[in-house]
């Protein structure tokens, strides 16, 4: 549950226990939810606005806050890390993966989720 005064919007009745695409109930309580911009995978890898729902072990993203159309999910396994594009001093994070250098100025709070930091070139970033 977000702390009192948290800037994150919460619509607990919007998604809890609702069926999505495959008609299976969603698991776990909602910890946080709000709009985020997610990049790709589209032909031009543009940034898309998605309604994101954080649950224990998974970050799910939807077309809108009604959670009727699930667009995907990111498994948050033990060892997964969120790597920010930018450091606190406004410089590019040298540990930022992929093409973060292209986006760190326009997306100052951007981050990539690395579900397998030890996976080398085989790892999948979100």
pLDDT of 16 above 60: no
Provide the pLDDT confidence category of residue 66 given band limits of 50, 70 and 90: very high
pLDDT of 4 above 70: no
Contact criterion met (CB below 8 Å) for 82 and 112: yes
53-to-23, 28, 58, 61, 63 alpha-carbon distances in Å: 18, 11, 8, 6, 11
* Mean pLDDT, residues 12-16 taken together: 40
CA–CA distance, 49 with 39 (Å, rounded to integer): 9
Say which residues have a Cβ less than 8 Å from residue 9's Cβ, sequence separation at least 6.
33, 34
- Tell me, what's the pLDDT at 43? 61
Calculate what percentage of the chain has a pLDDT beyond 70: 74
- Tell me, what's the pLDDT at 91? 81
């Amino acid at each position: 549950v977000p702390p009192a005064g948290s800037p994150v919007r919460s619509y607990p009745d919007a998604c809890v226990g609702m069926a999505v695409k495959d008609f299976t109930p969603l698991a776990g309580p909602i910890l946080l939810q709000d709009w985020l911009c997610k990049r790709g995978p589209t032909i031009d890898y543009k940034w898309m606005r998605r309604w994101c729902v954080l649950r224990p072990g998974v970050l799910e993203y939807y077309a809108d806050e009604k959670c009727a159309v699930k667009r995907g999910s990111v498994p948050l396994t033990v060892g997964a890390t969120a790597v920010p594009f930018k450091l606190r001093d406004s410089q590019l994070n040298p540990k930022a993966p992929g093409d973060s250098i292209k986006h760190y100025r326009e997306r100052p709070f951007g981050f990539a989720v690395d579900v397998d930091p030890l996976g080398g070139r085989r790892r999948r970033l979100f």
